[in-house]
């Protein structure tokens, strides 16, 4: 749910950050080289004389590589627009070396909407291919060989992008359509497990094909699909578990925090005594923020007696006792905070919750469920006549 590490923002759409992952910058010159090497063959297929085209093969290769990722962006944008229209929440769009990722913090509620959201990306790519192909055909009699060749190349890439993404290899779009179609009958967890197995099977096939054809880029795609299928299956199992566990069963109880008026020297002593990196800052019994050990340590010793916790505290991101663990984990990811402040229904401090609390609570819950499942049913003994 968090933004991909190693990415930087290049723009936004309706407030949604558009990011580029550093891996794209690595693969872009490689793709430019490959497309440039196929320049003359592509010109033959497009029925365009290569000697009539302006620019070197290397320049054409770079232009096509950039065009490919522009097409990937349009593909992901289609997913995003549909998700927003159907009540989903999109956190960011990230372009990577293996394509694009629309990071959803909240998926559309109905399986049908999820299937259509997955399908709209490939269908948009195929529609682009048809439009660009039609433009290429209309320009057959025109003398603009450069434009004809560019349109033909982009039409071919969009057609490949659309058809390839429709393969039932979860977590690609085709695999998501399969998962959504099975959810109504099998439930989200079981449907994801089935789609995940299919995705990993396709990944193995792609891996074998990559070795036989000596295609490193296909091998990278195979690894991406295998890891993505396994990771999404684990996330869905985690979601199904945490939705049944209240925050009250996961949190670390804490009724007292650092007073907002406490000096930083007192605050540092409390953090060290509790052996924690973060502590809630309270006024009375209500949290107003949280203070980090690293921030307090950065204040010069001479100033710690005169400055207060309120001056250096971070804002508090809260979760209620009666909310479930998945809501809490999602909020932690959305707000990009390492710890949530847990409050009672009346807003008073009840405790804290971090990732370690969630993991520990999940382990205990799953162990308890396994013990229940291992208890064999006792058959009723028949009474003697």
pLDDT digits (tens, 9 = 90+) for 282-295: 998 899 999 999 99
Query: Nearest-5° angle of CA 183, CA 229, CA 200?
Result: 105
Q: Has 76 been annotated as catalytic?
A: yes
Q: What per-residue confidence (pLDDT) applies to 375? A: 58
Q: What is the location of CATH 3.10.580.10 in the chain?
A: 247-372
Binding-site annotation, residues for Zn(2+): 75, 79, 173
Q: Identify which of 108, 219, 223, 115 has the alpha carbon closest to the alpha carbon of residue 173.
A: 115
- Give the pLDDT confidence of 137-177 residue by residue, as tens digits: 888 776 678 888 889 889 999 999 999 999 999 999 999 99
Cβ burial, residue 58 (10 Å; 0-12/13-18/19+):
middle
Is the predicted pLDDT of residue 373 greater than 70, yes or no?
no
User: Which candidate in 44, 76, 103, 141 is catalytic?
Assistant: 76
Residue 315, pLDDT > 70, answer yes
Owner of token pair 């399986």 = 111
Residue 384, pLDDT > 80, answer no
Mean pLDDT on 248-253 = 93
**Architecture of the CATH domain 247-372:** Roll (3.10)
What strands, in cross-sheet order, belong to the sheet with 258-259?
A: 258-259, 278-283, 286-292
Between CA 163 and CA 123 the distance in angstroms is: 9
Side-chain-side CA neighbours of residue 305 (13 Å): 2
- Phi and psi dihedrals of 254, rounded to 5? -160, 115
Note whether 165 and 121 are within 8 A (CB): yes
| Interacting residues of 326 by C-beta distance below 8 A, sequence separation 6+ | 238, 239, 242, 243
pTM for the predicted model, two decimal places: 0.79
Q: Average per-residue pLDDT in the chain?
A: 87
pLDDT band (50, 70, 90) for residue 107: low
List pLDDT tens digits, range 73-105: 999 999 999 988 887 778 889 888 777 888 876
Residue 162 CA to residue 126 CA, distance in Å, equals: 5
Residues belonging to the binding site are 75, 79, 173
Is residue 94 within 8 A of residue 17, CB to CB? The reply is no
SS3 assignment, position 91: strand
Q: Specify the pLDDT at position 90.
A: 85
pLDDT in tens, 16-67: 899 998 888 888 888 888 888 888 888 888 778 777 788 888 898 899 889 9
């Amino acid at each position: 749910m968090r933004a991909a590490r190693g990415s930087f923002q290049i723009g936004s759409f309706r407030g949604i950050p558009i990011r580029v992952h550093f891996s794209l910058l690595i693969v872009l010159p490689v793709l430019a080289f490959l497309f440039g090497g196929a320049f003359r063959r592509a010109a033959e297929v497009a029925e365009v004389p290569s000697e009539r085209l302006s620019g070197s093969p290397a320049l054409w290769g770079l232009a096509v590589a950039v065009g490919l990722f522009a097409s990937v962006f349009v593909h992901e944008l289609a997913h995003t627009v549909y998700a927003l229209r159907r009540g989903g929440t999109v956190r960011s769009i990230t372009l990577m070396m293996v394509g694009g990722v629309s990071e959803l913090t909240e998926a559309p509620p109905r399986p049908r909407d999820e299937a259509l959201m997955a399908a709209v990306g490939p269908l948009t790519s195929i529609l682009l291919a048809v439009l660009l192909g039609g433009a290429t055909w209309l320009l057959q009699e025109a003398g603009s060989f450069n434009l004809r060749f560019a349109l033909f190349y982009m039409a071919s890439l969009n057609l490949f992008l659309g058809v390839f993404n429709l393969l039932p290899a979860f977590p690609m779009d085709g695999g998501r359509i399969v998962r959504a179609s099975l959810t109504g009958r099998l439930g989200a967890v079981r449907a994801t497990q089935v789609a995940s197995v299919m995705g990993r099977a396709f990944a193995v096939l792609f891996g074998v094909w990559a070795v036989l054809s000596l295609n490193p880029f296909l091998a990278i795609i195979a690894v991406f699909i295998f890891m993505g299928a396994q990771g999404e299956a684990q996330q869905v199992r985690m979601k199904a578990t945490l939705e049944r566990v209240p925050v009250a069963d996961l949190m670390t109880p804490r009724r007292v925090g650092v007073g907002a008026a406490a000096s930083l020297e007192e605050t540092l002593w409390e953090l060290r005594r509790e052996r924690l990196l973060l502590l809630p800052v309270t006024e009375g019994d209500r949290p107003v923020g949280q203070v980090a050990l690293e921030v307090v340590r950065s204040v010069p010793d001479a100033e710690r007696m005169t400055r207060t916790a309120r001056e250096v505290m971070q804002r508090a991101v809260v979760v209620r006792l009666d909310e479930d663990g998945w809501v809490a984990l999602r909020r932690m990811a959305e707000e990009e905070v390492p710890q949530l402040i847990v409050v009672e229904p009346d807003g008073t401090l009840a405790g804290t919750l971090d990732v370690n609390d969630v993991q520990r609570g999940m382990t205990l819950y799953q162990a308890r469920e396994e013990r229940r499942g291992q208890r064999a049913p006792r058959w009723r003994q028949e009474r003697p006549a």
